[in-house]
Structure 1
Amino acid sequence: MNSPAGRGKEAPRPYFFLSYAHTPRVNSRGAADPNLWVAKLYQDLCEAILQITDLPAGHPIGFMDRSMHQGQKWAERLSRELAGCRVFVPLYSPRYFKSEACGREWHLFTRRSVYQRRPTSERMTGIVPALWVPMDHYPLPRVAGELQFNHDSFGGDYAAEGLYALMKIAAFSSQYHTAVWRLAQRIVDVAEQTVIPAGQVLDFESQPSAFDPPDVADKVRISVYSYRQPELPPNRSGAWYGEQRTDWQPFRPDSGRPLAQDAADVARNMGFQPTVREFEEESEYLLTGERPSAPCVLLVDRWAFLDGRRVEAVRRLDRRNLGSVAIIEPWNREDQQSRDHERMLNDLGDSVLAVSRGALQKPSLRDDAAGGAPGSLEEFRGEMERAVMRACTAHEQHHRDRPTEPPEDRRPSIGP
C-alpha cells in the first residue's frame, strides 16, 4: 500500500486517533469487557470536542479501534486512519508500552511532518498523551520521555491517579469531567495550531515499533503438542489440522490461521520475542538440564494424548512441575467431536497432567461446570497472556533465588 490517505482535497479528517492497549478479560467467562471503559472515555472526548468546535453533523470526530481482529482489512483501516488523523492520543499504561501494535501506531503517525501555524515556546508534535494509569514508577521509552507535556494541567488528581481511577471511583467524578474537558481542549488546540499533511497508507504489519526494542532476555518459547494431518486417529476430523503440528487451528471458523500465531501475537504485544516450535523440537530442551533458559508456554491438543508413542514426553514434563513452563489446553466447545468425546478427553488429560491438576493449575478453557460458556479465541488470548506472566514470574523468581558463585579469586579456599 502506498496511496495518500485522503480521497480528495476536502476529505474529512478526524480530530484524533485514540491509541490504547487492549486489556484482556479478568477470567475466561462471564467477565465484562474491560475495554468498555476506554470506549466511554472515547465517547466523552467526542462529545466534548463537538461542543468546542463547529464540526458539522456526520463529520468524523475521532477514531478508536474497537476490534482485536488481525488481518489485512483490519491493518489497512488502522493505517488509513493514522495517515489521516490530525492528533495522536496515546493512552499511557504499562501495557501500552509493551504493545508492539501500539508502537507501530506511534511510528506511523510520527512519520508525518508537523508544521506549526505560529511560533510558540512549545514545540508541537501532534501527540497529546493521556494517563490511563499513573506512570511514575514505570520507565518511559525514549520517544515518550522526549515529549514536553505537563499532565498536571489536567488536574492534580488526574496526574496522581489516571483516568481509569477517576472513572471508576465515584468521589472523582467531577475530576474526571474536568480532565476530559481539558484533554478535549488540548486536542482541538493542537489540531488548530498545527498543519499535519495526510500521510501515506503503508503496510501496518511491516512497520517497526517506535518503542525501545525489548531486552534480549525478554523471550518466550511457545511449543505446540498436536498432530499433523497424516497422524490423526481414525475418529478425528482433519479440519483442525495441517501439514505441521504447529498448524493446529482449534478455533475455526473464528480464526483461519494456526493458534500458535495468535499465541505469538499475544506474547509479542506484551513486549516479548516469541518463538514457535513443535513440542518434539523443544522436548529435549524442556526435559533436560536444571531449568529452561526462557519461560515457555505449551499449547496442548488433548486429542494428541491418544498417541501413546509421544505422550510420555508430556507426562515427564508434567512430573518435572516447572513453574517456568505454563501448560494450556485450548479447546473449542463448538467442536462437536470434542463435545461427543468430552469424558474420554478429560480422562486422558487427567492421566497425563496429573501434577498440574493436583496443583490446581486448571488448564484454560476446560469447562468442568455444567452450562458454562464455550471456549473462544478471545478467551484463549486472555488466558495466553496470563500464562505468559505466570511462566515469566516463575522464571524470574528462580533466577533471583538461585545462589551465585563468587568469582574465582574470591572463592574461599578449601583445606589447609
Structure 2
Amino acid sequence: MLYFFLSYARGSDDTYVRNFFTDLCVEVRLLAGLRESDEVGFLDNESIEPGDVWAATLVDALSRCRSFLPLCSPRFFLSEPCGREWAIFDSRIRLHEQVHRTRPSTLIPLRWLPSKLMPEFAARLQYFVEPQLDGQQPNPGIRQLMRLTRNRDDYLEFVTRLATRIVDAAHSDPLQDGPRDLDWHNVPSAFPLPADLPALRPPPPVVNSHPVASSANRVHFVVSAPTSEAAGQPPVGRNDVSYYGAEPADWAPYRPHSPEPIVAYAAKVAFRADLESRVIPVEKLDETLAEARDNNQVVVILVDAWSTRIPRNREILREYDERAERPAAVMIPVNSADDESHRNSMALADSVRETFPGNWNQREDSRFRWRVLDLSNFEPELQTVLAESRNRIFADPVIRRPLPPATAERPILEGP
C-alpha cells in the first residue's frame, strides 16, 4: 500500500522537503506496523529510480496512493506539474463521491509557506494546520516550523498527528485505484495558469544618471549545446536531433510542447525581471564571467546534459566548476517527454557529475538546477535563480563601479 503522495514545487528549500518526507515515512511505518524497508510514501526525487520513465512512474503513484498531500506555497500554485498531480488525484475523489455519496478525507492540504496566490477552490479547503508558534504570525508554515531548533518538539508532534491522519484515512475509507494509462502530458492542470509571458523584445532603456545602473541590469545566458549536426555524431551520438538547430543557441529542449529555443524563453523571464539579456556561446564563458564581475552582472549557464560529452565543452565547464568561487548559476533542462534522454539518464547523470563535481556535491546551492523537467518548472526556477544571483551580487561589500572618463574634471573642494 502506498499511503501518501507528497506533492511540492521544486525550489531552494528541497532539503527541508526531503527531511519532512523522511520523518513522515518513519511515523507512518510505525503507526501502520510496517517494516523499515516498506515503501509508504512517494516523493518524485526520492522514489523515482534512474532510468524509470518519469511520467509513467508519477501516474502510477497517483493512481494508487491512499492520500494526497500538497505542500502549498506561492510557487506551488504556479506549477503546472503540481496542478496535474492535483487533477489526477482529484478525479479519483470525484469518482468516489459519485459511487459512495461521501467525500473522503484523503486530500490533505499542508501549508508549507503562507501564500495568497492560490485558486479559489484551494483557499476554501480545510488545511491540516501546523501548531501556532510563540511570538510569530498565525500559521507560519511547516518550513518555518522545521527551520528553528526551538520548534523541534512542536514539529515532531505535528508529524505524528499527520501520520495518524494518513493511516486512519487509508483504512477507513479507501479510494479505488485510478487508471494507470493516462498520458501525463495531456492532463490539464487543476490550477489556472498565469498569463502568457510578453512577446520577446528588448526591454526599454533605463533612464538613470548613474552609469552602473544600466550595466548591472544585464544577464548573460551562456549556452552549452551541440548543433543538430554534432548531436547526431559521436561523441554525442543522439538518434533524435530534433531538439537542435544550426547553432547551439537554437537548442529547444522542451519540444514539441514548447517549440522555441530555450534562450527565447529565458529572455522573456529576464525581461519580466527588468533585465537585458545576451546569449553567449560556451567558448566565451571566461571573458563573459570577467565582464559580469566588473559590472555586477548575472551569468546563467544553460547546459544540455548531452553536451557534456563534447570534449571542448566538458573542459570549459569543468574548469569553471574547479574555481574556488563559482559566480554563475547552472541550469540543466531535461525534457520529461524526451524518451531517449530518459533511457540514457544514468549515463547522462554520470557525465554531468563528472563535469560539475563541485556543484554536484553542493546541490543544496539553489543556483545549480539539475533536471529541470519542463517549461512550467523552468520559468519559475529561472526567476528564482535571477533573484538570488542579483541578491548575492549586491550583498557583496565590494561593488565594482566603472571609473569616470579620463577627461572628467576633478572635483575641487573650496574652503570658506
TM-score range, shorter chain: 0.5 to 0.7
Distance 2:68 2:21 in 1: 13
Residue of 90, 96, 99 corresponding to 1:114: 96
Counterparts of 1:6-405 in structure 2, within 5 Å, are 13-24=1-12, 34-55=13-34, 59-66=38-45, 73-112=53-92, 113-115=95-97, 123-135=103-115, 138-149=116-127, 151=129, 154-157=130-133, 160-201=139-180, 202-217=182-197, 228-229=227-228, 239=236, 242=241, 245-246=244-245, 260-261=252-253, 276-277=260-261, 300-303=280-283, 328=301, 330=303, 335-338=310-313, 363-365=328-330, 373=357, 379-381=368-370, 387-389=382-384
Q: Which amino acid counterpart does residue 131 of structure 2 have in structure 1?
A: G
How much has 1:364 moved relative to structure 2?
3.8
**Runs of 5+ consecutive residues of structure 1 not aligned to the other structure:** 1-12, 25-33, 251-257, 266-272, 306-313, 347-360, 394-416
CA change 1:174–1:23 in 2 (3 A) is: same
SS class of match (1:239): coil
CA contact (8 A) 2:114 2:139 kept: yes
Distance 1:375 1:293 in 2: 25
CA change 1:362–1:198 in 2 (3 A) is: same
Distance 1:18 1:170 in 2: 24
How much has 1:80 moved relative to structure 2?
0.6
What's the TM-score, normalizing by structure 1? 0.56
SS class of match (1:40): helix
Distance 2:67 2:81 in 1: 18
How much has 1:381 moved relative to structure 2?
4.6
CA contact (8 A) 1:228 1:245 kept: yes
How much has 1:125 moved relative to structure 2?
4.7
SS class of match (1:149): coil
Residue by residue over 1:188-241, the C-alpha shift from the partner in whole angstroms, topping out at 9 and shown as x without a partner, is 233233231001011222211111122234778999797645599xxx977388
How much has 1:174 moved relative to structure 2?
0.9
Distance 1:335 1:18 in 2: 37
Distance 2:37 2:235 in 1: 48
Show the counterpart of 1:399: none
Number of paired residues? 314
Distance 2:64 2:146 in 1: 29
Distance 1:341 1:247 in 2: 21
Distance 2:114 2:67 in 1: 22
Q: Which amino acid counterpart does residue 86 of structure 1 have in structure 2?
A: R
How much has 1:19 moved relative to structure 2?
1.1
SS class of match (1:76): helix
Q: Which amino acid counterpart does residue 148 of structure 1 have in structure 2?
A: Q
Distance 1:293 1:364 in 2: 16
Q: Which amino acid counterpart does residue 281 of structure 2 have in structure 1?
A: D
CA contact (8 A) 1:18 1:90 kept: yes
CA change 1:213–1:392 in 2 (3 A) is: farther
Show the counterpart of 2:211: none
Show the counterpart of 1:357: none
The alignment yields a C-alpha RMSD, in angstroms, of 5.4
SS class of match (2:23): helix
SS class of match (1:213): coil
Distance 1:45 1:341 in 2: 42
**Runs of 5+ consecutive residues of structure 2 not aligned to the other structure:** 202-220, 321-325, 332-354, 373-377, 389-416
What's the TM-score, normalizing by structure 2? 0.56
CA change 1:65–1:278 in 2 (3 A) is: closer
How much has 1:161 moved relative to structure 2?
2.1
Distance 1:118 1:243 in 2: 48
CA change 1:380–1:166 in 2 (3 A) is: closer
CA change 1:115–1:192 in 2 (3 A) is: farther
CA change 1:278–1:49 in 2 (3 A) is: closer
Distance 1:141 1:70 in 2: 34
CA contact (8 A) 2:96 2:175 kept: yes
CA contact (8 A) 2:66 2:106 kept: yes
Distance 1:87 1:210 in 2: 17
CA contact (8 A) 1:333 1:374 kept: no
SS class of match (2:260): strand
How much has 1:51 moved relative to structure 2?
3.2
How much has 1:140 moved relative to structure 2?
1.2
SS class of match (1:60): coil
Residue by residue over 1:381-406, the C-alpha shift from the partner in whole angstroms, topping out at 9 and shown as x without a partner, is 5996664457799xxxxxxxxxxxxx
